[in-house]
Amino acid sequence: GQNIDQPTEMTATEGAIVQINCTYQTSGFNGLFWYQQHAGEAPTFLSYNVLDGLEEKGRFSSFLSRSKGYSYLLLKELQMKDSASYLCAVRDIRRTTGFQKLVFGTGTRLLVSP
Amino acid sequence: DSGVTQTPKHLITATGQRVTLRCSPRSGDLSVYWYQQSLDQGLQFLIQYYNGEERAKGNILERFSAQQFPDLHSELNLSSLELGDSALYFCASSPRGAGGNTGELFFGEGSRLTVL
């Protein structure tokens, strides 16, 4: 099975930097993803890591350490519109069939204040 | 607009009833996923179909069933509904199993089910 942990809620100030951590345990790891979800809306894809290291995309960066089962999402120059839930998701591959599924953590609600 | 269409957007029904949620994936996407999101809960994976066949199953109740049709649209059937089934049900699609090279899933806007 899979186990994904991330903080329930975080707060930060506009213009600041925030790091959202995610730890996971899975038997068939094949990639880690971050999605953003505004309240009542569909999740939208932010980033993808399959190899160790940092992936940077504008104000957002995501880091992965496979040996530690650890990832973080780094948000810089926070804006009010960044207030949302951030979902860590692990792609798990079933070795017997090769088929994969994406399993989500419960998400971290980020509140950005002025 | 992700290109994934879900209907209905909102549904209110009573306990014991049965409902069907419908999903049309993005054009060309073969994989369809169903997720349930209850209030303050994460996305719970229910089931995945690929080109008409079931590929992976999550914590889907026996009262729930799904299928993917030859035209690749999918339906999620929820029966003997209970109060706890009230949730947002999301459908997502991807070109191949779990999003191909990048794993990106494209989510519909969801169907909000309220069971009274």
Percent of chain B with pLDDT over 90: 73
Mean pLDDT of B6-28: 96
Q: How many beta-carbon contacts under 8 Å exist across A and B?
A: 70
Is A51 near chain B, with CB under 8 Å?
Answer: no
Lowest mean pLDDT among A17-26, A59-68, B23-32, B41-50: B41-50
A17 backbone dihedrals φ, ψ, rounded to 5°: -115, 140
Binning chain B into helix, strand and coil, the percentages to the nearest 5 are: 5, 50, 45
Q: β-strands A9-13, A108-113: how paired? A: parallel
pLDDT band at B99 (very low <50, low <70, confident <90, very high): very low
Contacts of A30 in chain B (CB under 8 A): 98
* CB-CB under 8 Å, B107 with A102: no
Rounded to the nearest angstrom, the minimum Cα separation between B38 and chain A is 10
Helix and strand element counts for chain B (H, E): 0, 11
* CB-CB under 8 Å, A102 with B45: yes
Query: Is a pLDDT exceeding 50 seen at residue B36?
Result: yes
Lowest mean pLDDT among B8-12, B62-66, B103-107, B110-114: B103-107
CA-based nearest residue in chain A for residue B56: A101
Residues contacting A78, CB < 8 A, separation 6+: A12, A13, A14, A15, A16, A17, A18, A112
Rounded to the nearest angstrom, the minimum Cα separation between A13 and chain B is 23
Whether B108 and B6 have beta carbons less than 8 Å apart is answered as yes
Is B65 near chain A, with CB under 8 Å?
Answer: no
Residue-wise pLDDT for A42-89, tens only, equals 999 999 999 999 999 999 999 999 999 999 999 999 999 999 999 999
